[in-house]
Amino acid sequence: MKPRHVALCFLFRTTEAGNEVLLGLKKSGFGAGRIVTLGGGVEPGETAAQAAVREVAEESGVVVDVVNLTQLGRVRWRFPSQPAADMDAEIFTAVEWSGTPEPTVEVEPAWYPVNDLPWEGMWEDAQHWLGSVIDGTPLDVLVTLNQDNETVSSAVFA
């Protein structure tokens, strides 16, 4: 089975308190109850960048233009005990957008200081690669989960 193609988009802003990233509490679907980034599946006929823009709008109401996206790389997740959950994600960042993040049926968005991320509420694997995104460092990482589909067996950077 081919991994699901997804696009993730990290929005950043600078405030008087410092740099922040927009994440959200997932309210339904895969990852419900965890703090995640905005994003989702790439639909037939759209590019990963177009999917990132669409997903940000659907999950937060924020409008991002494709030209304001920076493609940072990819993260591939493998779930050996549940291969149907395998995903290949293209990672984007943006510092320009319009609108104010609003709760949706799927996500409760919130800004977090980049130096004080809510690790305890996130997937464990984020600790292996999210620092590269925060730093703006290109990445290509393969994350393999353990049989519990939650803890990390390995995170290998290419």
Question: What residue segments make up the domains of the chain, in order of their start?
Answer: 4-114+123-157
CA distance 92 to 71: 4
Position 28, amino acid: S
Q: Which residues of 139-150 are buried (b: 16+ CB within 10 A; e: fewer)?
A: bebebbbeeeee
pLDDT at 81: 95
Rg (CA), the chain: 15
pLDDT at 108: 97
Place of tokens 């997937």: 123
Q: Which residues pair with 19 in a beta bridge?
A: 14
Class of 4-114+123-157 in CATH:
alpha beta
pLDDT at 127: 97
pLDDT at 1: 85
Looking at the chain, the number of H-run helices and the number of E-run strands are: 2, 9
CA distance 78 to 72: 20
Taking the chain (158 residues) in consecutive chunks of 10 residues, what is each chunk's mean pLDDT?
96 97 94 95 98 98 98 98 96 98 97 97 97 97 96 97
Place of tokens 């519990």: 148
Is the backbone of residue 5 left (phi > 0), alpha (psi -120 to 50) or beta?
beta
pLDDT at 98: 98
